[in-house]
Amino acid sequence: MNPITAIVPMDEGFTHQVTETFSSVGTSDPSWTEKVCAMAMARDGSLQIGFGLGKYTNRNVMDGYAALSRGAEQLTVRASRRLAPRPELTAIGPIHYEVIEPLEKVRFRLEPNDCQPIAFDWLFEAAVPPFLEERTHLRAEYRVMSDLVRYHQTGVCSGWIELDGQRTEMTPETWVSTRDHSWGVRYDVGPPPADMEPRPQIPPGIGFMMIWCPVLMERSDGSRYALHLHFTRMQAPGFQQKMVTAGVEHPDGTREEITELEPELSFDPHNRRLLGGKLHGTMADGSGRPLEIEVMGDTGVHLGAGLYFGLEGHHHGEWRGELHVEGERIADCRTPDAARRLHQIRDTAVRVHDTVGGATGWGNCQPIAYGPWPALGLPDDPWM
């Protein structure tokens, strides 16, 4: 007897790739995840909304978050539900995700709810095609800790936001939007298991820095392209390790590789928020691509409130029952205590100036500056 899982609507299509139905996945690893993460922001940096949804087939869980950042303030709604018997339904309580036109238009929605006084309905429309990133493959000794495929996409949005009963309209001329979609085995899913060796940590004395930053760029004649800026860097006296995967992305689907990004960034030493700076880029042909990163005030959704790196003992994919909805409103996310509670990584609202491309753009920059960076005035303080 070799049972087959239930048939779902996606099984009608000619897209099967394993000898199973779409309600199952090709591994029994409980860390298997399919996830979307997105943001929309006003070009003046006054307001930003964030959205995330994750499906954990082998945990029988779907969870997600919807958040709003207005300056230093953030409101977040989180929801979790039992995946069965509707694994194809991308909705959890008031949180809804809908593909309107594959790879072109996606709808993100938060219904009015009893948890927080926010709601939104936002339609993402692509300015460039989606672009695949490098596969993430990490091992912890003999176990594959992460084996993940991701694509990102940059565009504009339309719709509305309600906060405390006041409605704000979003238009493609005044707002930009970015999104990503990933699937595979990933780390930080579920509470850390008590019967396994703890996940490897960055050793004391080593500084770790990263940014992940998709940006919609626009020239004075209205033509557009996108930048995707991603690097990780670890260093200590006598040691440095660096990875760069970045590029200039065009509406026709072509991509120019940026082979080097040398950061000249600054961070607030009290909460490690990115303050701005420069990225000295190098193209594949050796030419320079200097980029200026301007942080647009305090607006930026902290992803920790969406359970990235966990929040007060809770984690992505954790079983919370048939349906669980919760959230909070934090008046000032800049304080050191709030920053540690919510972690460093956030969708920092930035404006980017690209003199070579002759364009200015807007997007979200997710930064981390962990451990010691003496030249930046950051002590060896190991928190993400």
Model's pTM, two decimal places? Answer: 0.94
Q: State the pLDDT at residue 200.
A: 76
Nearest Cα to Cα of residue 279 among 355, 220, 206, 373: 355
Alpha carbon distance 292, 182 (integer Å): 28
How far apart, in whole angstroms, are the C-alpha atoms of residue 180 and residue 251?
Answer: 17
At 248, list the tokens. 């200039």
Residue carrying structure tokens 């091992």:
139
**Which residues of the chain carry a pLDDT beneath 70?**
1-2
Contact between residue 47 and residue 168 where contact means Cβ atoms under 8 Å apart: yes
How confident is the model over 69-125, as pLDDT tens digits?
999 999 999 999 999 999 999 999 999 999 999 999 999 999 999 999 999 999 999
Ranges of each domain in the chain: 30-191+203-376
pLDDT of residue 83: 97
Two structure tokens written together for 33: 């995840």
Cis peptide before 85 (omega within 30 of 0): yes
The Cα 12–Cα 27 span in angstroms is: 22
CATH fold label, 30-191+203-376 = AttH-like fold (2.40.370)
- Spatial neighbors of 287 by CB under 8 A, at least 6 apart, are 356
Q: Judge whether 301 and 49 are in contact, CB under 8 Å.
A: yes
* Beta carbons within 8 Å of 245's beta carbon, 6+ residues apart: 133, 134, 228, 230, 231
Quick one: pLDDT at residue 202?
Answer: 84
pLDDT at 142: 80
- Residue 145's pLDDT is 81
Paired tokens of 31: 């860390």
CA distance 344 to 50: 16
